[in-house]
Each structure stands twice: as structure tokens, then as C-alpha cells.
Structure 1
């Protein structure tokens, strides 16, 4: 058996029917030329041959008596592939919008905790004869970087990889479940170990707290907490900051990675700063449409990895920081500057306390209490009344920059599917893959039924940033226009009404490997 850390178990204890705690991905696939086989059967055979490469495939939960302590991972030696790998056929005409809606529904259902916590769906019936695959894995056993390692177990760099060496045969256990005495003993031992870990980290935690107190230029010469620049402790209230239901809306878009990198280089900002600015601009346009744009700048919760380089263990080693989105700034270039300053300050703050953030902590007697509090928080709808710590979750996950293959099919996209929560009804996650930034927007359908509009605005904001950069470059190249350009830059940027025309045309992929994706998307918008 293997114990869940305190952080891993938190994703189990805080899960409710309204807030499933699994993450996933949506991949559009290109089958080999002239393919005549049954791809669903090929996928099952592919997974069967790779299950020994990742413990995620074969481990399941063993719950402690009376939920007095965190559960443990145990080996499941009888995994039912017909359950874990399923076939779905979209109804005609099989548009991209239909696919997004179906993935939203699949992502809203809880996983069976009596089985290993992963599911794959092979989806056919798409326009043009394409295929798709949607996968989901419980967050209790995986974070962003662990997910990348998990993908390596099932993805290949060529459509015809070398055969995988079969695993060594292990004798099956006769007992289906662990005994009560064995579980209780394991819980007691693990709890003691967790307390020891916590005590050992206390000096680091104390040093981290002291590092947050810096001299401030006050007349009294006192000291105060050092918070990231341009960061408000609590975000403003918006329609996104409400208690959520279990219904989901989902939308995807793609932006060329090279264009975003070049924009950051020209503006002296990082790739992540520009991604944040694109998301901020899309939210600004969306809320302006509804007359709900707050005067106070919105803020975003940003996951931050705590992993040591090279660590690919299947668990959670992540924390969260908060930074401004500068949605009160009209000019997209000025907004990037503000975001960049806030990002640098947040990184410095996180760097000073990162080593002291615990990912394993004792929770003896707490699981049932945490579950009860999580359920009560959702049902009481406190998120509708309390000021939000942040307005939205935004995550940027680095990925492979070369084409990957799955069961012989080429991956055209790597759209993430993440987790909205009470108080933050929208999650905007982007995964870089093979020269593109693939955005996946998942939201509570009641709070954000028109998540497609926000996805469209991602493209419009990206183009607005590029246009502003071109205008600045033109002004620098033509000195007599510099004054006029500066005057125009000082004017607020008007938020245009959303066009009724198909926005996906603006996202036509220039990479040949993704022409099929752009064609499928254009047919739906």
C-alpha cells in the first residue's frame, strides 16, 4: 500500500457532486492514411500493453474505517478495461461544438472510487471522419507535471514505436480488500510520520514568515507584510464568483505559440505574462458585454509547482499564488506591463516561502469533517456572498513541442479540461503543444452558459495585442508619427461588439499537421 499525502487526500475530502475533482484532456486525432481497423479496439490493446508503465492505471483507494484517516493506494490486479476505456459516437453532424458540449457533460460526473481513478473515451462520428479522445484522471493522484509524466507512458514520438517489454508476472493476492486491523495500523504509523515531517518543517516555515516582513518607508520605521505589487488581497465581485452546480460548459481555442513568444519578447514580458494578458482581455470584453466589468482589477489564482527538477512521482506537489489581471487597464500593452510587474513580485514572494509549504500534513480524524464542511459550504451558497480571494483560475502548463502519437494516431490538439469551484466558476487552462497554445475553458454552465464567447474573445484579444505592437513599431520607424501614436495609445481601448461571423476562422492553424482541426472548428462556428 501507498499512503496519500495530506494534499492528495484534500482533493478527495473536498470533492462533492457539484465539484468533481478530476482533470482531463481533449485530443483531436488524425488516423494513419488508409486506416481500416477498429480504433477503439486498438486503444484498448495499446493501454493494456502500457499499464505497467504508470501506477495510475492499476492503483485504487482503500478507505480507512470510519474515515478517521486518509485512504491509501492499493494495487488492483483485476482492472476492467471495458469499463475504463469506452466508445462514444457523436450524433450527426458531429460538429466541434457538439464535441465540446459532450466533453462538458462527461467531465461533470463523479468517478467510481472502488476502481482505479482514470477513464478514457474514444469518440468518433466527427465531421470529416476524424477521431477524438477525452481522458480524465482524479486530481488526488496527479498534478500538471505528474500528468505530463503520465502522458509519456501512453504517448509515442512515432506512429510505429518499438514494442514495449511485457511486465513481469506477479502472483495475484487472494484478498480483495485489506483488513481493518491492517488499515488501522497503517493509519496510525502514517499519522506519526506526518507529525514528524511537520515538526521538521517548522524552522523553514518560521524563516519563510520572517522573510515576508520587510522594512516599509513609514515615519514610525515599522515593518509590514510584503505583498506582491499590484495585488489586492480580495478580488471584486463578478458573475463568475458564485456557488456552482455540477453542470459544465466547455470551449476550446488555439493560438500560435510563436506569435505569443514574439509578443512577449518585443514587450520585455514572459510568455506567461502575455497568456495572462490574453485571458484578462477576454474577461474584460466578456464582462463589458454584460455591463458587469468591475472598476477594481480582477485577480487570478495561479497554480505553482513545488516539484524538484526531474521529479515525476504520481502525486500532488503544487501550491497557489494570486496576481492581478489588470482588467481596469484598457490598453492591452499597458495591461501586460502591470501584469508583468505583479507576476515578478508574486514569483519573488513564492520563491521565499516555497520550501516551507507543506504538501503532507496529518489529518487524523479530519476527513469526515473536511467532507462535511465542503458540502455545507456549497449548499449554503456562501460563495454568493463572501468576497472572492480570486476571480478566476488560470493555469499555463508547458508541454511537448513535437508531434505525439497515441495508438498509432497523431495528436492534433492537447486541450486541457480542469476544475471550476465554488467562488471561481471559470477555469482557464492552457497547454502548449507542438507549436500551439491550446486553451481549455471549463465553467459552471449556470454561471457561464456562454463560455464560447470568452473563448472567442481570447482570439480577438490576441489579435489586438499584435495590432498594438505593430502600431508601436510603425511609430518607432516613422518619427513624425510617434506623437500621434502616443496620443492614441493614451485613449481607452474600445471593446468591440462580438461579431456574429464564425470566430474560428481567425484561428485557422498554419501548421499542416493541424489543418484538420481548423477545418473541423470552422464548420461549427
Structure 2
């Protein structure tokens, strides 16, 4: 029986158009298990498509008509075709990572068909080093980006000898509450931008009327004195109307290198990640002759421990919010940029720590509202953007994971550029490495892969500046 689509998920279905596909994706790289035969990848694909029962989430498709009074409802696809959703692809010669990223870019730029359940998975062979790639995408009306990644991880194991593990879309018994709680704790941090984005699409009088700390922070935001909300981001090439074509670039670096910089400078690993992104974006914009005089601003999800930050929370635990971080792109010295980012993060956290969880979400929504309303009202280039890009850092598994003996050796998220925000950087830590996934509009953000070189250079620059 059809069920109504909740308003927040409806917002993603309505906002979607040819130039703004509203799905999130993920790329995972595996090495074959020892003794794997020449048909291993074909067998892996067959195992993934030969599923006895599909989980309900993966059978849902949206529909609206006169009979639903124009409202979206979820209904089960009674003609579900697994071959449409699970596909086997091969890279052209020479099968480098470059060809893999090109394929993922094309796949990520194609809208999911609304007449079918809103997801796809591609088992990809042809890499010259023999690795297997899996690219998946799922509509944001169904799950957020990190939830999609956790769905993929739910079939992984730390045991390299374990076999018989099913596909992520196969029906399984419900997870235990302990597992669910752990997954929720990991998911919440990167879910903030989308929760805030959804709330920003319909800010209520309740949110707008919240008193006290929120109002004080808003007043400071108007005077450009806080990092909790931004009203002063400069216009950049990232903040304009985008096309539907995508470019995806990905690479990882050892977390230990970032930890050493943080230890030497009194900063967090997340500060170092932001500094890497700041320096890379600065160098990239200088190459294009597009670096503005004032600093770029990034929206960054953060977790606040309620006890440490003295957040007013009846349940304790973690409060989650977003901080508008001044990236210091107007500073030429890597050490100065890192200090600026560290101070900006501290200021934003201090502002959020004086608010309740409800106020934090309202502040996040108010910060997101201009980013969402500007493209909806077709005002790109007319008003200044509230921020220039989103940079998220999501913790992943700390130990090596396996899928039926195949070792997971790389994990990279693909996100959603929107009009007025053509670049999104999402990072995921896994097994001692930090994987950077950069998703951008192919036309608006030219030569996106150059940012990977700049990220590598900036990490070395930070090490030199910190003496790490």
C-alpha cells in the first residue's frame, strides 16, 4: 500500500532537475582474495544480483498523480528488475585510476529514473592492478550520504575468512540496538548538512523565534564576529549556476601524517584536513586567476560533547551542529592558515556550546537557508553566498574490512553539488588513511583533479611549517 513521502524527502524529489541530480554515491576498492580465479569478478557480480529477497528500502519508488492529490507517495515496484539496478561494467584500456574516476563521474551525473526504485550499483573490472571497484548511488530522499555508506559497510567483516556475506540490498534480520546506536553515532555528523538543508527549506516560526544564545549569535553573525553563521562569504567560481555533468576525484593519505601535524601545533586532525583543503583551493584558484581578496568560508559539520561543551541537553551525549569556518585563503603562510582555521573552529564551537540541540539545528538551518533559497529563487550572482563549499570529515572503520574475503582498500564518498555551490569535499577515515572525495560540476570547476596535487603539496607544506 502506498505511503506518503515525508516533507523533507519530498523536498529532495522536488528540488531535483537535470542539472541537480539529488543522489549520493560511494566508491569502494577491493583486492581479490588469495587464490581467486580469473572469473572472480563475474562471480562476485552474479552473487550480488542473485538475491532471494530485496530489502524494502530498495523496492520503493516515488509516484504522484491526481489520485494522490499531487503529493508524492512511496510504492513498491511490483515489476522490480534487478538487472536494471545491479550492473557489471569494465574500464577501457589501460585501466588506470583515471579511467575509473571518469566512469564514476559519468555515472554520478546521470539522474535516477523515478519510475523505478532510486538506486544503482556497478561492479567494475578492468583496473590494471587487478583490484575490483564498486560504485553505488542512492537518492537522497531515501537516505543521507553516510547512511548509504553504512549500508554498504553493513555487509563487511573484519574477518578475512568469513564467507556467505550477502549484498547490501538483500533483506536481512534487523540489526541489534547496539549496532544501530553505533551506526547512528557515526552517521549523525555528516547528516547535519542535509538535516539543516531540509530544515532550511521550511524554517518554522518556532526556529525563527528561538531566543537567547541563538539570537546573540545571529547578531554577531550580522557583524561578522562569529563562525557559527556566515553572511560574508566572497563570490567565487564555485558559487554560480551548475550543469548536470560531474567530475569526481579521489585519493587518500595516512592519518598519521595529519596527526603528527596536529600534535606539533595543538590542532585537531579535522583542523589539518581543513587546512589541506584551504591550501589546495587557494593554489587552485590562483592557477585560474580567481582567488578573491577575502577568505573563503566553508560549512563544516561538528560534534559537540554535551558534558565537555556544557550543551543544554536533557539526554546528554553528543550535540551536532555546523560551523562556518573561515579558511584563511587570503593568507599565504600555511601555518597562519592552520592557526586561522583552528581559531575559527574554536569560535564556532564556543557559539554552539551555549545553545540547546534544538537551537543548534535551527542555527544550522538558518545558515543553510540562503544556500537553498538562492538557487530556488534564481538569485545566483545577485546576492553574496553564505559560504563557498561544504567540507565534511566522517569517521569510518578503524580496522581492515573484507567482503567475502576481498579486502576493502579504499572508500571514497561522492556528494551533491547544487546551484551556487559547485564543489563538495567529503573525507572518510578508514584503516589508518583519510580518503578525500571531491565532487564538482565538470564545467564550473575545471580540471578538478588538479586539487589532488594541491592537497598533496599542502600536506607537505604543513609538515614543514609544523616541523612534523
TM-score when normalising by structure 2: 0.78
CA distance in 2, matches of 1:49, 1:214: 55
Distance 1:168 1:333, change over 3 A: closer
CA distance in 2, matches of 1:214, 1:376: 28
List per-residue Cα deviations over 1:314-368 (Å, max 9, x = no partner).
xxx9975422111112222221121122112323444525324379x9xxxxxxx
Give secondary structure in 1 for the equivalent of 2:147. Answer: helix
CA distance in 2, matches of 1:304, 1:50: 40
Distance 1:452 1:225, change over 3 A: closer
2:301/2:320 contact within 8 Å kept? yes
The reply to whether residue 341 of structure 1 matches residue 327 of structure 2 is: no
Superposition RMSD in Å: 3.7
CA distance in 2, matches of 1:215, 1:75: 45
Unaligned runs of 5+ in 2: 174-201, 307-318, 366-371
- Equivalent residue for 2:357, pick from 354, 358, 372: 354
Deviates more, 1:458-467 or 1:347-356: 347-356
The reply to whether residue 436 of structure 1 matches residue 441 of structure 2 is: no
CA distance in 1, matches of 2:107, 2:145: 20
Give secondary structure in 2 for the equivalent of 1:396. Answer: strand
CA distance in 2, matches of 1:350, 1:141: 29
Residue 464 (structure 1) aligns with: 461
Residue 125 (structure 1) aligns with: 126
CA distance in 1, matches of 2:69, 2:260: 53
Residue 418 (structure 2) aligns with: 421
CA distance in 2, matches of 1:107, 1:51: 27
How many equivalent residue pairs?
414
Mapping of 1:168-187 within 5 angstroms? none
2:31/2:409 contact within 8 Å kept? yes
Residue 258 (structure 1) aligns with: 256
List per-residue Cα deviations over 1:458-515 (Å, max 9, x = no partner).
0100111011111xx7xxxxxxxxxxxxxxxxxxxxxxxxxxxxxxxxxxxxxxxxxx
Residue 45 (structure 2) aligns with: 43
1:214/1:224 contact within 8 Å kept? no
CA distance in 2, matches of 1:230, 1:354: 14
CA distance in 2, matches of 1:48, 1:102: 25
Distance 1:353 1:110, change over 3 A: farther
CA drift of 1:31 comes to 0.9
CA distance in 1, matches of 2:67, 2:212: 40
Residue 326 (structure 1) aligns with: 328
Give secondary structure in 2 for the equivalent of 1:236. Answer: coil
1:6/1:70 contact within 8 Å kept? no
Give secondary structure in 2 for the equivalent of 1:414. Answer: strand
2:18/2:244 contact within 8 Å kept? yes
TM-score when normalising by structure 1: 0.70
CA distance in 2, matches of 1:454, 1:250: 11
2:221/2:230 contact within 8 Å kept? no
List per-residue Cα deviations over 1:267-300 (Å, max 9, x = no partner).
2222211111110000111111222211100001
Mapping of 1:105-504 within 5 angstroms? 105-161=106-162, 163=164, 206=209, 208-214=210-216, 228-229=226-227, 233-303=231-301, 321-351=323-353, 352=355, 354-356=357-359, 357=361, 382-470=379-467
2:62/2:115 contact within 8 Å kept? yes
List per-residue Cα deviations over 1:221-256 (Å, max 9, x = no partner).
x99889524975131122222211111122111111
Unaligned runs of 5+ in 1: 170-197, 309-316, 362-370, 474-525
2:160/2:407 contact within 8 Å kept? yes
CA drift of 1:59 comes to 2.4
